[in-house]
Structure 1
Amino acid sequence: MIRKLEIIWLLFLTIVYSELFPSEKTIKAEKLMPGEVIIIDGKPDDPVWQRAQKAGGFIQREPEEGKPGSEPTYFQVAYDNKFLYVFVYCYDSKPDKIKAYLTRRDSYSSSDWVAVSIDSYNDNRTAFEFRINPIGVKMDMIRFDDNNSDRSWDPIWFCDTRIDTNGWFVEFKIPMKELRFSNNNTGQWGIQVYRQIARKNERQYWTYWSKNETGWVSHYGNLIGITDIPRQKRIYLYPYTLGGINLSNLLRTEVHKNNYDILRNFGLDAKIGITNNLTMDMTVNPDFGQVEADPGVLNLTAFETFYPEKRPFFIEGRNIFNFSLGIGDGDLSRNSLFYSRRIGRAPQRDVESDISSDTVYCNQPDWTTILFASKVTGKTNNGISIGILNAQTDREYAYIRYKSGRKEKEVVEPMTNYTVARLQKDFRNGNTTLGGILTYTYRKIDDPALNFLRDRALTMGFDFTNLFWNRNYMIDFALAYSYVHGSNEAMIETQQSSARYFQRPDAKHVNLDSNRTFLTGYANKIAFGKIAGGHFRFASGLVTSSPGFEINDLGYMQQVDQIIHFTWVAFVQTNPKYFYREYQINFNQWSAFNFEKINLGNGGNVNFHIEFKNYWELHTGYNIELSGISTNALRGGPSIKYPRSHNFWFGIKSDYRKNIAGNVFLGQSKSKDNSYSRWINPHLTLRPHQNMRISIEPSYRIAVNNWMWVDCFEVDNKNHYVFSKIEQKVISCQMRLDYTLTPNLSLQFYCEPFIATGKYSEFKEVNNPRADKFDKRFYTYSPSQINYDEENEVYNIDIDTDGNTDISFDNPNFNYRQYRSNFVIRWEYSPGSLLYIVWSQNIDSYDSFGIFDFDRELKSLRKAAPFNTIMLKLSYLINF
C-alpha cells in the first residue's frame, strides 16, 4: 500500500513539475547526404523531407491564448554546408479563405503569414527572421535585445509557396552566410516558427509564452544537429550609377541661364563577411535619392526638430549603436549618444542670410557630402556584440557672384570625421547585459569663418540592464560623459546654446566664461520596475543631465541641466472577457529640477487603452502640468514662471484586417493664461484591390499662445524680452499609394501638402518674470506705442512713450506653404540588384498675411515654382 502511495505521489509531482516548468521544445535538423539537392518548389517530395523530424503542437497567443492552434501546423528543418532549409505545412480546413495581399517586400498586410526565426548566436537575444505570405511576398527582420526588431535588414534568401485543397505550404532556402553564428560548433541554435491566420486574427507559435511574460527570442525552442559548418565566404559588392535632371525655373539666374541641371553620379556599397559572425559594410560616395522626404513641420521653438533616419546604410544594424539616455515614448526617449542624421547634416554656416544687396547669385548646398562610411557589426565567439562605425564628410562651399562680376566661394561646413564604437556583453542567458560606447567627432577647422564650430567632441558611456525574478523585474542603468573642445568663439556658442543658456542673469550655479576652450559634463538614468507578470506593473527612476553635458555633435539632446524623477503604475488585463479582449490603465507622475535645485515643474497623467472583441481599439487620456519655472523661455534671459495647463486626448481605431479601415485621434490643451490648442488627426486606409493600398492621413490644428517669443532687444543697457499673442493654424495631408505588380516590382507615390499660418498681435514684454499672475508677469504695449510701417513691413515700438522708436522688428506674421512628393518605381530585377526610377517634386511658398484663407493658400501653392528631380538609379549585385 505504501509503495502504491509513493508511486502516485511521484506521478503527481512529475505532473505538477511539468506544468510549472515545461521542458523546452527541440527539433533536430537533418543533414543532406553528399550530392543530395532540394528543389525549392513548395512540395515536400524531396527525399530529405521523408526522413526529417516533423514538429508540431503550435499554441495560440491570439485570439484564444494558451489553446492549440485552430488549424494544424508542422515544420521540418534540414541543412548542408551552404543553406538552411525549412518546410512548413499550414493545413487549412477552408483553403479558399486563405488571405494574401500582393505588396512590396517588407510591407506588412493582413495576410496569412509564416515566419521562421533563427537565433543562430544562441544568445536568447538576437534572431534572424524570414516571413512569407501565401503568394510569395517576403518580409525579413533582425530581432535584437530579445524584444525589439529592425525591418531594414534585407538579406538574400529563397522561398516558394503552394496552395492546394489541404492548405498552403512553404519551402525556405536560407543561405548560411546570411545568418551570423559562432564558430564554437555547439550544434545548438534557437528557433521559432509561427503562423498568422488572417481571417481569424490568429497567431500560433511553436514555442508558446503568455502575454504576461516579457521577451521574445528568449522563449525560442532548440534547433540541434547543425555542426561543422565551414566559414562562409560573404562578399557582396553593389556598384551603382545614376543619371537624372533637375528641372525648375528657380535654377535660372544671371549666371545660370538654363532651367535644368544634369545629374550624374556613381558609387559602391559593399558587405564583406570577416568571419561567420562579423560583417563589414562600406559605402563610397553614397546616394539616397530614392529615400522619402521628411514630413512638413512647424517649429517655432528654440530647439532642433528630431527627424527619423531613413537612409538604408544607417538604418541596417542600427540596434547595436543605440545608447539611450531617455525613457518612455515622449521627447526624452530621443536622447541618445548616437543620432545618425548628424552624418551628412545640413551645413551649419548660413551665408545666404548674410548676402549683400549687390549679390546676384548664391548657391549653398542643402546637405554635406558623405565621401565614405564603413561599419563592422556582429558578435564574437565569447558573446560580445560589436559595432564600429566610421564616416567622412566633405568640406562644403557656397558659391557667390556679385553684380560687378566678382566670384567668391565661402566655406559653410568643414571636412568632418565621425567615429562610433559600441560593445555589449550578455550574461545569464541574455537576462543581464553590460555595455559601453565611445563616439568621437573631429572637424578640420582651417578657416576663421568656421571658428564658431567645435573642432573635437568625445562622449563615453556605460550601460547595464538586468532582468530577474522570472524576468518580471528590471533594472536599467546608463552613465555618460561628454567632452567638447574648440575656440573661445565655439565655446561661447556652446554655453549660449538653447540646451543650457549659461548667460542667464539669475543663474547661480553656471556662468558664461568667454575664455573657456572646453566643456565637460555627464548624464545618467536609472530605473527599476516590474514589467511583466500578473496584473500590476510599475517603474520608477531618475534621468539626469549636468549643465555642461553636450552630445549634439553626434548625438541628440534638446535640454540639459535637469534632474527628472518619474513613476509609472499600470493595471494590465490580457484575458478576454465580457466585451473586451484586453485593456490597460496607466498612471504617470513626474517632477523636474535643475542643478540649482529649482523646481522646474510637476505633472502627471492617466490614460486608458482597450481592445474590443471585434478588434476595434479605444485610447484616451488626461494630463495635467502644474505651474513651474522655465529656464529657457526667455532664450538666455532670466527664468520665468509658466502657468498651469491640462490636456486630454481621445482616439478610436478600427479593425485593420478590413479592406476599409481607419482611425481618428483628437485632443485639446488649455493653460491658465487662456492659451489653448485643438487638433484632429484622422487616418483612412483603403485596399480597392489585392495589390493596391491607399493611405490618407490629414491633420488639422489650431492654437492660440498668449506669450509667443518674438525677440530680445537691448535699449539703454537693458534687455527687453518681447513676446506676443499668436493665432496659428496648421493643416496637412499625407497621402500614399502602393501598387505592386509582382513581389519584385512595385510603384509607390507619396505626397504631403503642408500649410501653416501665424498671426501675431498684442505685443508685450516681460515685466516681472516670477509674478504669480499673468498680467503682472508681462507689460502689454498700448496701441500708441506701436507703429506699423506697412511699406517695409516693420513694427516700431516706443517703449518709454517719449515719441521715439526704441526697437524695431520685421513683421513676424507668416503664411508658409510646402508640398513634397516622391514617385518611385522599384524593380529587383535580380536578387539584390535594383533599378529605381524616381520623380520628386518640392514646392515652397511664403507670405506674411498671417490670416488663414484655404483658397488663397492653395492658389499660392499652385502658382509657386516647383523644383522637380527625375532620376534613374541602377545597382547590380556582384556576389562572391
Structure 2
Amino acid sequence: MFNIGYGFRLTFCLFISTIILYEPAFCSSLQDENKKRLEAVRTTYPPKIDGILNDEIWSSTPVASDFIIYSPDNGKPSNKRTEVHLVYDNTALYIGAFMYDNYPDSIYVELGERDADRMLNADNFSVEVCPYNDAINGFRFKVSASGVQSDSRIEQFEFGSGGGRRGGGGGGGMGGGMMMSGGRGRQDNWDAVWESEVSINDKGWVAEIKIPYSALRFPKEVMQTWGINFWREVRRTKEQSSWNYVNRDIGSSINHLGEIYNISEIKPPVRLSITPYVSGYLDKSTGQDATFIYNGGLDLKLGLTESFTLDATLIPDFGQVQADDQILNLTPYEVRYNEKRSFFMEGTELFDKGGIFYSRRIGATPKMYYSVYDTLKSNEIITDNPLESGMINATKLSGRTHFGLGVGVFNAMTREMFANIKDTITGESYSVRTEPFTNFNLLVLDQNLPNGSYISLVNSNVRRNAPKDDNYYTANVTATDFMLRTRNNLYSVSGVVALSQKYFDDRASEFGHSYDFRIGKTGGPFRIEYSLNAISDTYDPNDMGYLRRNNQFENEIQVSYNINRPVWKINSSRNSIQFSYAQLYSPRVFTESQIDISSVTVFRNFSNVMLRASFTPGGFNDYFEPRVDGWFFHSGKEFQTSVSYDTNRDKKLYLGTTFSYSKIWSEYDQNNYMISLDPGIRFSDRFSLSHQFSFQTKLNDLGYVDDTESGEIYFGKRNNRTIMNTLSAGYIFSADAYLTFRLRHYWSRADYTNDFFLLKANGDLDPDTPFAGNFDSNYNSFNIDLVYNWRFAPGSDISVVWKNSIYSYGSFIFNRFSDNIDYMFDSPQTNSLSVKILYYLDYQYLKKRNR
C-alpha cells in the first residue's frame, strides 16, 4: 500500500528543493529585456480627478508615449498618439492620459455594467501595475471612453490543459477580439475601489485615474521601482497598443512591463474595510402562502501586512445570484455549474492551483436530501427539506511575499441541515438530518520562479461533525502543481500530482492518486506538446473539488501553428491537430483513440470562423454508461465536425452561427445534429438586445435505462431533442446604474422507441430482449432574472431583483412546442422579489474625514 506520509514528504521535499534551486535566479527573466522607464514624480497638490487634465502638475511631469501595437500588427508603432502622465503622493497613484484622435465623433462610447470589459463596445485606456516588479502578480485598472470601470488581478499565464472527448476536460472558443493577458493571467472578478473620470474634446479623449494604495499591495522600502504598462484600444479599428512592447508570441502581458522609478518614502496604508448589508425577500410559490425573509451580514477585508489580506463573509446572502442553466442529464456524470457567488469568485487565483477546489461544494445540496424521499412511509409527507446547505461564514487569507511565495488559506463552515416530516394520521412531526455541520479547509503554497515558472503545494480537507461512515467520512486531498519554463518562454514542462484520502470509523481508509505531465514547445508560432494523464480508479477529490470521472490513462500529442500577425485577409489564426490514445487506469484496457483537428481564424473585418473535426477510428469502449463496475458498452467508430461563424460583434447588428454533425457507424443509424443562432442588436449606446437559440437532435441514441439485482443491464434506443432559447437585454442609465433582463427556456425530451437491449459481456447489445418500461423524459427549465443595480457610492450598491423559475419533469412527451409551453406554465412556479443594500466603509476614508 502507498505510504501517505512518505508521499507527502516526497512532495514537500520537491516543493522546497525547486524553490532553493531557482531562487538565486529570481531577477533574471523575460521581462528584463528592452523595457521602457518612466520617472515617478511626487506631488504635494494632487490633481483633481475630473477628466479635464488641466492641473498644473501634469505639465511638469515626464510623458509616456510612442505606443506600440499589440493587435493586429504586433510590434509596429501605433499611429494613434497617446500621452500618459503619472504622479504620486502619500495616499495614491494618479494617472492622466490623453488619447488623441483625429475623428473624435467616431470614438465608441457604449455604456455597460461595471467590469463589462471586452463585452463593452467602447474605446478604453488601462494601466497594469506590478508593485513588486517581479512579473508575477499585478493589478489592472481600465476605464472606457464612456466612463465604465473594469479591474482585475493579473498573473503569469499557464497554458490550458487538454482533455479527451469523453474525459471531461474543459474547452473554449475564440471570439473576434484579442485578450491582453493570457490564460491564468486574468482574475476579472476581483474588485477594488478607485476613482476615474473621462471627457471627450475636439482632439480626442481624456482619462484621469486615482488608484489609492489601499487597492494595491507593495513592499516596505524607502525607494521603490514598480512594473507598469499603459494600454489603449481604439474600438472602431480594434487596434490595441501599449507603452512597453508586448510580444504576442512569448509570455503574457505581465512579462513585458515597463518601469516607474524613484517612488520614495511611501508607506503601505492600513487596509481595512467592511461592507455591511441588509436584504429582504418576498417569495411566492404555487399553492403556498407568500413569505418574507430578511437578512443581514457583512464582508470584511483586512490587510494583515503589506502583502497579505484577510477576507471574510459573515452570514452571507447569495439569493440574488443568477439561476443555474440546468439541463436534462442522461449521462452517468455530474453536471458542473459555474460559480456565481461573488465571494468565491474574487481573489481566488491562488486557490485554483492543483485543480482540487470547486467552490460550489460549499453550500451545496445536502448529501441525504434525496434519500429522505426514499424512506417515507405511506402516511408521511415532507413539510420542509432545504435544497442548499446553509452557510455560516467563509474566510480567505491570501498574499505573496517579496520573494514570490504565495500563501492562501481558505475556510468555510456550513450548518447542520434537517428535513421535517409530518405524520398525516397523528399530526406529529419529526426531523431527519440531511447534512451535519461541515468544515471546509484549503491551504495553498505557491512559489513563483523565473520565466513564468512556479511550483505549488495544495491541501484540501473536509470534516463533518458525524460518525465517519460511507456518507460522512473525512476527506483529504494533497496536490503539487508545477511549471518550469525556459528563459525565452519557448519550452516548458509542467505537471500536477495529487493524492486523495478518505477516512472512516468502521473500515480501512481509501486512497487514490492522479498525475498529469506535459512537456513541449509552448511558445512561438509553431508548438508541439506531449502529455500523459493518469487518474486511478480510487482517486476522488469531489468532496471539495470536481472530477467528472476517474480511472483514466491517456497519452496525447498536440501540434499547433498560430498566426499572430496579419497575413492576406487574416488578422490571426490558431490551428492544431491532436492525437490521443486512452485506456482505463485499472485494468489497463483500451477505451478510445482519437484524432482532432481544429482551426480558429479572425479576419481583417473582425469576423471569425472556427472549424473542428474529430474521428475515433477504433470506436469507444464506455465503462461508465453501464453504471456497473467491470461492464462496458462498445460504441462504433465516430466522426464529428462543427463549423462556427461570427460577424463583427462590435457592429450594431451581429450574428453568430454554429452547425455541428456527428455520426456513429453502427447498425442503429446514429446521427447527431445541432444548430445555433446568436443574433444581437445595439439600438443605442445604452440599450442592447440579444437572442441565443439552439436546436439539437440525437437520433437513435443508445443509453442505460435500468439494471436488476440478478446482474442484467438494459439499454434503450431513444430520440433526444433539445431546444434552448435565451433572451438577454440591457439598458444602461449611466456608468453606475443599469437594468438587465435574462430569460432562458430549456426544453429537452428523450423519447424511447420501445427498442430495449440486454448488454452483453463483450460490450455489444442483444436486441432479442423481453424488457419493457416507460423511461421517456420531458424536462423544462424556465428562468427569468430581472436586475436593477445602482452604485450610489464607491463600492456601495442597491440592487432590486425579480426572479421567476419553473422546473417541470414528466414522462409524457409533447411533440408540439406550444403544447409543451402550456404544460410548463401549468406547473408549479416560484417568484422572488428582493432588495439588497450594501455600503462600503473604508478606514482610510473615515480617518481622512475625521481629521
TM over 0.5: yes
For residue 132 of structure 1, the aligned residue among 119, 134, 143 is 143
Mapped partners of 1:388, 1:372: distance in 2: 14
Provide Cα deviations, 1:246-274, integer angstroms capped at 9, x if missing partner: 112242xxxxxxx2111111111111111
In structure 2, the residue matched to 1:849 is 812
Amino acid at match of 2:746: F
Higher mean alpha-carbon deviation, 58-67 vs 412-421, is at 58-67
Deviation at 1:633? Answer: 2.3
- 1:604-615 alignment, distance < 5 Å: 604-615=595-606
Mapped partners of 1:431, 1:837: distance in 2: 43
For residue 683 of structure 1, the aligned residue among 657, 678, 686 is 678
**1:619 match: secondary structure:** strand
For the 8 Å contact 1:30–1:48, the answer to whether it is kept is: no
Amino acid at match of 2:77: P
- 1:58-77 alignment, distance < 5 Å: 58-77=67-86
For the 8 Å contact 1:753–1:818, the answer to whether it is kept is: yes
Instruction: Select the structure with the greater relative contact order (CA < 8 A; seq sep ≥ 6).
Output: 2
For the 8 Å contact 1:758–1:851, the answer to whether it is kept is: no
Deviation at 1:781? Answer: 4.2
**2:820 match: secondary structure:** helix
Deviation at 1:26? Answer: 0.4
Amino acid at match of 1:685: G
Mapped partners of 1:106, 1:28: distance in 2: 30
Mapped partners of 1:314, 1:725: distance in 2: 41
Mapped pair 1:381 → 2:374:
no
For residue 755 of structure 1, the aligned residue among 741, 747, 760 is 747
**1:321 match: secondary structure:** helix
Does the C-alpha gap of structure 1 residues 518 and 767 become closer, same or farther in structure 2, counting only changes over 3 Å?
same
Mapped partners of 1:21, 1:309: distance in 2: 37
Higher mean alpha-carbon deviation, 81-90 vs 516-525, is at 516-525
For the 8 Å contact 1:125–1:217, the answer to whether it is kept is: yes
For residue 616 of structure 1, the aligned residue among 603, 607, 619 is 607
In structure 2, the residue matched to 1:492 is none
For the 8 Å contact 2:102–2:203, the answer to whether it is kept is: yes
**2:264 match: secondary structure:** coil
Mapped partners of 2:793, 2:522: distance in 1: 45
Deviation at 1:692? Answer: 1.4
Does the C-alpha gap of structure 1 residues 769 and 851 become closer, same or farther in structure 2, counting only changes over 3 Å?
farther
Mapped pair 1:466 → 2:484:
yes
Mapped pair 1:528 → 2:537:
no
Higher mean alpha-carbon deviation, 619-628 vs 51-60, is at 619-628
In structure 1, the residue matched to 2:497 is 479
**2:712 match: secondary structure:** strand
In structure 2, the residue matched to 1:286 is 316
- 1:661-676 alignment, distance < 5 Å: 661-673=654-666, 674-676=669-671
In structure 1, the residue matched to 2:282 is 245
Mapped partners of 1:765, 1:840: distance in 2: 43
Provide Cα deviations, 1:509-545, integer angstroms capped at 9, x if missing partner: xxxxxxx431011111110121222x31111111111
- 1:221-260 alignment, distance < 5 Å: 221-251=258-288, 259-260=289-290
Mapped partners of 1:442, 1:407: distance in 2: 30
Mapped partners of 1:720, 1:786: distance in 2: 11
**2:263 match: secondary structure:** coil
Mapped pair 1:30 → 2:41:
yes
Deviation at 1:49? Answer: 1.3
Amino acid at match of 1:779: D
Mapped partners of 2:264, 2:514: distance in 1: 46
Mapped pair 1:341 → 2:360:
yes
Mapped partners of 2:472, 2:382: distance in 1: 29
For the 8 Å contact 2:274–2:841, the answer to whether it is kept is: yes
Amino acid at match of 2:325: P
- 1:590-739 alignment, distance < 5 Å: 590-593=580-583, 594-625=585-616, 626-640=618-632, 641-673=634-666, 674-714=669-709, 718-739=710-731
- 1:45-64 alignment, distance < 5 Å: 45-64=54-73
Mapped partners of 1:474, 1:361: distance in 2: 57
- 1:234-633 alignment, distance < 5 Å: 234-251=271-288, 259-324=289-354, 336-349=355-368, 350=370, 351-404=372-425, 405-428=427-450, 430-445=451-466, 451-487=469-505, 516-533=507-524, 535-593=525-583, 594-625=585-616, 626-633=618-625
For the 8 Å contact 2:592–2:621, the answer to whether it is kept is: yes
Mapped partners of 1:596, 1:407: distance in 2: 50
Does the C-alpha gap of structure 1 residues 322 and 185 become closer, same or farther in structure 2, counting only changes over 3 Å?
farther
**1:658 match: secondary structure:** coil
Mapped partners of 1:195, 1:433: distance in 2: 30
Amino acid at match of 2:594: G
For the 8 Å contact 2:366–2:435, the answer to whether it is kept is: yes
Mapped partners of 1:22, 1:150: distance in 2: 26
For the 8 Å contact 2:156–2:452, the answer to whether it is kept is: no
Amino acid at match of 1:59: I
Deviation at 1:818? Answer: 1.8
Mapped partners of 1:529, 1:660: distance in 2: 42
Q: Whose Rg is larger? A: 1
Provide Cα deviations, 1:520-574, integer angstroms capped at 9, x if missing partner: 11111110121222x3111111111122211111011122222111111012222
Mapped partners of 1:761, 1:164: distance in 2: 68
In structure 2, the residue matched to 1:833 is 796
Higher mean alpha-carbon deviation, 837-846 vs 762-771, is at 762-771
Mapped partners of 1:443, 1:29: distance in 2: 53
Mapped partners of 2:226, 2:832: distance in 1: 48
For the 8 Å contact 2:74–2:564, the answer to whether it is kept is: no
**1:860 match: secondary structure:** helix
Does the C-alpha gap of structure 1 residues 232 and 765 become closer, same or farther in structure 2, counting only changes over 3 Å?
same
Mapped partners of 2:481, 2:112: distance in 1: 40
Mapped partners of 2:270, 2:306: distance in 1: 8
Mapped partners of 2:95, 2:32: distance in 1: 28
For the 8 Å contact 1:757–1:852, the answer to whether it is kept is: no
Mapped pair 1:866 → 2:829:
yes
Provide Cα deviations, 1:456-499, integer angstroms capped at 9, x if missing partner: 111111121111151111111121111111255xxxxxxxxxxx
For the 8 Å contact 1:103–1:692, the answer to whether it is kept is: no
Mapped partners of 1:635, 1:767: distance in 2: 12
TM-score (norm: length of structure 1): 0.86
Mapped partners of 2:511, 2:462: distance in 1: 15
Mapped partners of 1:79, 1:566: distance in 2: 51
For the 8 Å contact 2:625–2:703, the answer to whether it is kept is: no
For the 8 Å contact 2:512–2:537, the answer to whether it is kept is: yes
Does the C-alpha gap of structure 1 residues 875 and 217 become closer, same or farther in structure 2, counting only changes over 3 Å?
same
Deviation at 1:632? Answer: 1.9
**1:517 match: secondary structure:** coil
- 1:91-102 alignment, distance < 5 Å: 91-102=100-111
Amino acid at match of 1:555: G
Does the C-alpha gap of structure 1 residues 767 and 231 become closer, same or farther in structure 2, counting only changes over 3 Å?
closer
In structure 1, the residue matched to 2:189 is 152
Mapped partners of 2:287, 2:227: distance in 1: 58
Runs of 5+ consecutive residues of structure 1 not aligned to the other structure: 1-19, 252-258, 325-335, 489-515, 772-776, 788-794, 796-810
Mapped partners of 2:38, 2:517: distance in 1: 40
- 1:772-787 alignment, distance < 5 Å: 777-781=764-768, 785=770
Runs of 5+ consecutive residues of structure 2 not aligned to the other structure: 1-30, 158-181, 844-851
Provide Cα deviations, 1:644-696, integer angstroms capped at 9, x if missing partner: 11110011011111011121111011112222211112112211111112121
TM-score (norm: length of structure 2): 0.89
Provide Cα deviations, 1:26-73, integer angstroms capped at 9, x if missing partner: 01110113xx23211123332321221111110112233322212100
For residue 97 of structure 2, the aligned residue among 88, 105, 121 is 88
